[in-house]
Amino acid sequence: MPKRRRTGCWGAIVILLVGAGVAYVAGARALSPLPSGPNRLIRLDPAGSLESVLQRLEREKLVRNAWATHLYARATRKAAPVKTGTYLLHAGMDSDELLAALGKPIRQMVRMPETNWARRSANLLEKANVCTAQEYMELFAKPQEFQDVVSFPLPKKGTLEGYLYPDTYDFPPLLGARGVIVRQLQNFEKKVLEGRDPPKNLRRALIVGSMVELEVARDAERPIVAGVIENRIKLGMPLQIDASLLYGIQKWRELTFADYRNIDSPYNVYRHKGLPPGPICSPTVKSIRAALNPANHNYLYYVALPEGKHLFSATYDEHLRNIGKRKAALAQIRSAQ
């Protein structure tokens, strides 16, 4: 009898060892990388638990076995929640490489210039693989879809031109147009309103501020140009601002005399008096403040010198003399080249 018991014990041990070996082989197989593949951008929004993310990655053929990988992550204390973001992954990563990559969402800093109008920003975003230009422009034309993300009133109709604050943003690839616009609007509220109630004439300030933004490079001149705009409006003079006409044709190019006369657009402020119907770019807070607090003076004209400084004048004769100074400065530059 004792011999038989010892034989039975050894048999059980052998069975356990064989089972452990099979489990080890199965586990190693489940954790083995898939055949290597190209890099892929994966947007996880919302991301959620590591387990749910791994299940998605198994469906996307980036992980061989989500359950085994999650078990490995727990055993190695790497089972942290995955943050919402865009990730660079590829088939063929081992478990450690994959878990490390899921801890590093891609950061991509994108500069949204203050001189851009929405169409130009849309093209920039598409080039950076943040969203398509079409998606951005479609949502840009639906301002009320974003009313719940800010506390100030957005236009009831029209577009979000002027409200999409220019700045450098972390816009990862595949973020999508909605994510871009939400961040721009919230930044507008933070930078422009600074916790205060919006001024009653906010939209008008955005229209004037957008023209100031495209006309002026020097901060000290912003209130002066805003004052010129207000003076011309009071006197019923056309504003004659090239940037507004360029917005109307949605192209940035040299204008001709024929353009001034013939382009029939409400943004052609050579033909139409008063302000254009809407903002023509995304102005900075400095230009918006200048529009809200224009300088008090009698200037009606200004002309830019080559270095960016403007010469201001109250009469047309003085303006012609300033144009002569500009031409002389340009000729001097050409002769020095």
Q: How confident is the model at residue 12 (pLDDT cuts 50, 70, 90)?
A: very low
How do residues 224-247 score in pLDDT, each as one tens digit? 999 999 999 999 999 999 999 999
Beta carbons of 279 and 161 less than 8 angstroms apart: yes
Q: CA–CA separation, 49 vs 56, rounded Å?
A: 11
Tell me what pLDDT residue 32 has: 82
pLDDT average, residue stretch 165-175: 97
Supply the pLDDT for residue 68.
93
The continuous run of DSSP H or E covering 31 comes out as helix 2-31
Give the percent of the chain with pLDDT over 70: 91
- What pLDDT is stored for residue 4 in this prediction? 53
CATH topology of domain 29-106: Dna Ligase; domain 1 (3.30.1490)
3-state secondary structure of 170: strand
Distances (CA, A) of 50 to 66, 81, 337: 10, 5, 63
pLDDT at 58: 95
What are the CA-CA distances from residue 224 to residues 57, 75, 174, 220 (Å)?
58, 67, 42, 8
Look at 24-33, 81-90, 169-178 and tell me which has the smallest mean pLDDT. Answer: 24-33
pLDDT at 158 > cutoff 80: yes
Confidence of residue 143 (pLDDT cuts 50, 70, 90): very high
Q: Do 85 and 44 form a contact (C-beta atoms < 8 A)?
A: yes
**Cis, peptide link before residue 46, omega less than 30° from 0:** yes
Burial of 5 (0-12, 13-18, 19+ CB in 10 A): exposed
Identify the band that residue 194 occupies on the pLDDT scale cut at 50, 70 and 90: confident
Evaluate if residue 285 carries a pLDDT over 60: yes
**pLDDT of res. 67:** 94
For the segment 26-33, the average pLDDT, to the nearest whole number, is 66
pLDDT digits (tens, 9 = 90+) for 199-213: 989 999 999 999 999
Which amino acid is it at 79? Answer: A
| Mean pLDDT over the full length of the chain | 90
DSSP strands (E only) in the chain: 40-44, 85-89, 109-111, 168-170, 301-304, 310-313
Q: What is the pLDDT of residue 21?
A: 36
**Ranges of each domain in the chain:** 29-106, 109-193, 200-295, 298-337
User: 107 CB contacts (<8 Å, ≥6 apart)?
Assistant: 170, 172
pTM of the model: 0.85
Question: Average pLDDT of 244-252?
Answer: 93
Mean pLDDT of 186-197: 92
The whole-number pLDDT of residue 34 equals 80
- Classify 119 as helix, strand or coil: helix
Rounded distance between C-alpha atoms, residue 8 and residue 12, angstroms? 6
Residue 6: per-residue pLDDT: 53
pLDDT tens column, 15-29: 333 333 333 334 456
